[in-house]
Amino acid sequence: MSSTGVPFRVGQGYDVHAFGEGDHVMLGGVRVPHDRGVIAHSDGDVVIHALCDAMLGALALGDIGKHFPPSDERWKGADSRAFLRHCDALARERGWQLGNADVTVVCERPKVGPHAQTMRELLAQDLSVDIDAISIKATTSEKLGFTGRSEGIAAMAVCLLVKS
């Protein structure tokens, strides 16, 4: 039982990266071919960054910038899956594990759907949960705002942690 007496914890996360030079974007650990890349210190994986922030939020441990500061050379070009595994370890050390997570990617392009299943498999591996605990969805923003103008890509995540 947690200090609040409730055997569940909920968290939410949000992340954005601007498009820049490049030929792919990393999404949920998958290298997705695209005519742009993203500007980022790490690999700029908005799916994983939003999910990490959701897990850290559920644990009330601050945010991804606190745990993996862009000023730290260790994280330059980092594989964001290492961030996710670290967040999972923080949860498990405290007696929690992921119950389920739901992530929504917002962009006009690239198309996320064809890669969603692979993303689910990779994230489920990193979090040691069944694939049906991980949902990846996508939407456009109907050509509105920065995502609609294809200036960048965003992701939102919610997760539930349960007592392990």
State the number of binding residues for Mg ion (CB under 5 A).
2
Residue closer to Mg ion by CB (options 62, 95) is 62
Residue closer to Mg ion by CB (options 157, 161) is 157
Residue closer to Mg ion by CB (options 42, 91) is 42
Return the structure tokens found at 125: 């591996």
Q: Which residue is nearest to Mg ion (CB)?
A: 49
Residue closer to Mg ion by CB (options 53, 88) is 53
* Residues 27 and 115 sit within 8 Å (Cβ to Cβ): yes
Residue closer to Mg ion by CB (options 49, 81) is 49
CB-facing half-sphere around the CA of 19: CA atoms within 13 A: 19
* Residues 97 and 129 sit within 8 Å (Cβ to Cβ): yes
- Which of the residues 127 through 156 are near Mg ion (CB under 5 A)? none
Q: What angle do CA 63, 74, 57 make, to 5 degrees?
A: 10
- Which of the residues 35 through 94 are near Mg ion (CB under 5 A)? 49
Give me the 9-28 binding string for Mg ion, x by CB under 5 A, dash otherwise: ------x-------------
Question: Minimal distance in Å, beta carbon 130 to Mg ion?
Answer: 26
Least Cα distance to 38 among 87, 123, 105, 89 occurs for: 105
Classify residue 59 by burial, with Cβ atoms within 10 Å: 0-12, 13-18, 19+.
middle
Q: Is 138 helix (H, G, I), strand (E, B) or coil?
A: strand
Residues that bind Mg ion (CB under 5 A): 15, 49
